Chains A and B, each alone.
Chain A
Amino acid sequence: MGTVAAQGLCKSFGKVQALDGVTLDVPDGSFFVVLGPSGAGKTTTLRAIAGLEKLDSGSVHLDGRDATGDAPAARDLAMVFQSYALYPRHTVYENIASPLRARRRSSSEIAAAIEQMSSLLHIERLLQRRPAQLSGGEMQRVALARALVRSPRAFLMDEPLTNLDLKLRVEMRTELTRIHRSLGATFVYVTNDQVEALSMADQVAVLKEGKVQQVGTPTEVYERPANQWVAGFVGSPPISLLACRAEGDCLVGAGGWTLPRPRWTTAEDGRALMLGLRAEDLSVEQRGDASLSGELYGLEPLGDRTVVDVLVGTEILKVKARPTVTGAPGERLLVTVDLDRAHLFDAGTGLSLSEAGR
């Protein structure tokens, strides 16, 4: 149905470089998530693909055809806006009908399409209301219906779930995944919520300051972050990063600790490194051959688990533990490290050194 390819997108607003050579390749039928913090250029990327933003340089190909200069209407894409952008003077019915009216479909065709769409999204009883009479969740469904009512090349979604409360967001996540499966259409989905990205995506592109940091499956991005920044951005609680250098068979930390050097690193002696340790690869309850000693700094009980903050030297490690764990601040602790799952980054460039040896 539709492939979307963006090649070297550049766009600046005054002095701010919003997009700095963004290249994305969205395969047909995939759920492609663009993930990044606010101000990373996610929305601008989406608007550039939609044709709403004039590019300084770069090209957009749709289904392999160059569509860079095309008007939005000619691109055959549908978009869900973060603000929903429902037409305030029109009823829900007319809002959803708008893309079909633009294509001069007959009113019986429109009625049939809207009926089908409203039962898919459970908005049958809202059709005669105006946007001002809808709740946030209902507006979101209507915005989705307006996009889904025709079969475009691809669907562009700009943080569609951000303005919903948590419960609704979780529901809609499942719902969107279901809709994506049943349509088999291409979705380009922008979000700053890593949970959305990891749970829904076939492919994730991580964006920072207008540059693509990494593209891969959710597992790849989580398990093998391309650089220190991606490692820090993806994952909750965030990965703990410790400054260190390689010396012989050991990693020597800036805080004075030593760990056995992981077998897979190829870093030469003396090189400044950052050791990245995810909370679930650390333990205060089990014993292993590699460990760090520190003192208890604080506990964050989260219900199903407790995050233990451990002060090692001057740096804090976040450790995942069972919810039953207890302790007083200042207490000495031994943190066991699963070195096979640790990440090493070059302290200067931030690039991952883990890939080569694995």
Chain B
Amino acid sequence: MAVSVDEAVSTGPAPDHTPAARRLGGRGRSGLEVALLIVLAVVMLFPVLWMIETSIKDNRDVYAIPAKFFGFNVTMDHFRDVFVAPGGGRSALSVAFLNSVVVAGVSTLLATVLGVPAAWAYSRFSVRAKKDQLFFILSTRFMPPVVVVVPIFLMYRQVGLIDSKIGLILIYAAFNVPFTIWMMKGFVDEVPAEYEDAAMLDGYTRLQAFWRYTLPLLVPGIAATAVFALIFSWNEFVFAIFLTSSDDVRTAPPAIAGLIGGTTTDWGLVAAASVVFALPVLVFAYLVRKHLVAGVTLGAVRR
């Protein structure tokens, strides 16, 4: 989610939304505005830039004092180390990335498969106390994860879900279903119910009508919602670090965090792992950039 906010900030100040400039009497951007935007961009982007630089510096340049912004030796060793263990074979980090892919993918799939039909039902049918139910569903997202992590830890220990990928998948899906329902309900509301009515009179059952005529119209919405869920699961740290411990279960965020500490920290490896970790999110965020801002207002997408 952090990435979506970055995106929104960097693309946000479009020329037409600059009342400050208009108040100053100028068309377009004033010099002050440009200066402030540059400062903001530098502050926001410097850590990212530094991460990328560190990931391709060789170790002597990483620890050089004063720090080298330019003219360092470029190496891909750190990226190799992310995937390949020192003695050859698969590294612990690469296993963590694979775990992240599995956990994020399956939990998103689960949330989508459960959430889309639920959103359709809430949109189409008269359900008793519908608003209260929807509010209750949303309210599960009010709490910060830290608050529930201890009780969940205890429950998971009882049922044997601790330190298992299934455990993480279930908790991520549980967090993503409410979000999917809310965002998808907005998309379903936009599709006229009459298509389904017409299909039912054509001779289809309600589910066939949904499947044949409503679902295809929801595909863009489902894609946008799924990317949000995917980003949430991919980035999630708190549950991952509390509920998993072994290397073959652990996802990337706690695995990368685990690189820091001990007697020495291999910053080049940390930076390279972070770049690899951030890349898929950036790509997905770019793919659904149109929906990112709209998605924040929960599916308020104009047709």
Interface positions of A (Cβ within 8 A of B) = 47, 50-52, 71-73, 77-79, 81, 83, 85-89, 98-99, 102-103, 146, 156
Whether a CB of chain A sits under 8 angstroms from the CB of B216 is: yes
Shortest Cβ distance from A279 into chain B, in angstroms?
A: 39
Query: Restricting to B172-229, which residues have a CB under 8 Å from any CB of A?
Result: 192, 194-195, 197-206, 208, 213, 216-217
Known: A73-B201, A79-B197, A87-B195. 18 other contacts (CB 8 A): A47-B197, A72-B201, A73-B200, A73-B204, A77-B201, A79-B201, A81-B198, A85-B195, A85-B198, A87-B198, A88-B217, A89-B216, A98-B202, A99-B201, A102-B199, A102-B203, A103-B203, A156-B201
In the complex where A85-B195, A89-B217 touch, is A78 in contact with B201 (Cβ < 8 A)?
yes
Residues of A within 8 A of B192 (CB): 83, 85
CA distance A71 to B201 in the complex (A): 9
A88 to B208, CA, bound (A): 17
Query: With a CB–CB cut-off of 8 A, which chain A residues contact B208?
Result: 102
- The interface centre, meaning the residue of B192, B198, B206, B213 with most chain A CB atoms within 10 A of its CB, is B198
Q: What's the tally of chain B residues with a CB closer than 8 Å to chain A?
A: 17
Residues of chain A lying within 8 A (CB to CB) of residue B195: 85, 87-88
Q: How far is the CA of A52 from the CA of B193 in the complex (A)?
A: 11
Q: Report the tally of A-B residue pairs with Cβ distances under 8 A.
A: 57
| Chain A residue with the shortest CB-CB distance to B197 | A52
Shortest distance in angstroms between A141's beta carbon and chain B's nearest beta carbon? 15
| Contacts A87-B213, A88-B217, A89-B217 given; does A102 touch B198 at CB 8 Å | no
Q: Which residues of A contact B200 (CB under 8 A)?
A: 51-52, 71-73
Q: Are B205 and A85 in contact (CB under 8 A)?
A: no
Determine the distance from Cα of A27 to Cα of B242 in the docked complex, in whole angstroms.
Answer: 72
Output the nearest chain A residue to B214 by Cβ-Cβ distance.
Answer: A87
Q: How far is the CA of A52 from the CA of B124 in the complex (A)?
A: 12
> Closest Cβ of chain B: how far from A177's Cβ, in Å?
23
With beta carbons under 8 angstroms apart, the residue of B194, B205, B206 that contacts A81 is: B194
Q: List B contacts of A47 (CB < 8 A).
A: 197
Closest residue of B by beta carbon distance from A143: B198
CB contacts (< 8 Å) of A156 on chain B: these are: 201
Contacts of B204 in A (CB 8 A): 73, 102
Q: Contact check, B194 vs A85: say whether CB atoms are below 8 A apart.
A: yes
State whether A83 touches B203 (Cβ < 8 A).
no
Residues of B within 8 A of A79 (CB): 197-198, 201
Contact check, B216 vs A99: say whether CB atoms are below 8 A apart. Answer: no
Residues of A within 8 A of B199 (CB): 87, 98, 102
Query: Across the interface, do B202 and A102 meet the contact criterion of CB distance under 8 Å?
Result: yes
Among residues of A, the one whose C-beta sits closest to the C-beta of B219 is A89
Q: Which residues of A contact B213 (CB under 8 A)?
A: 87
How many angstroms from the CA of A89 to the CA of B213 in the assembled complex? 8
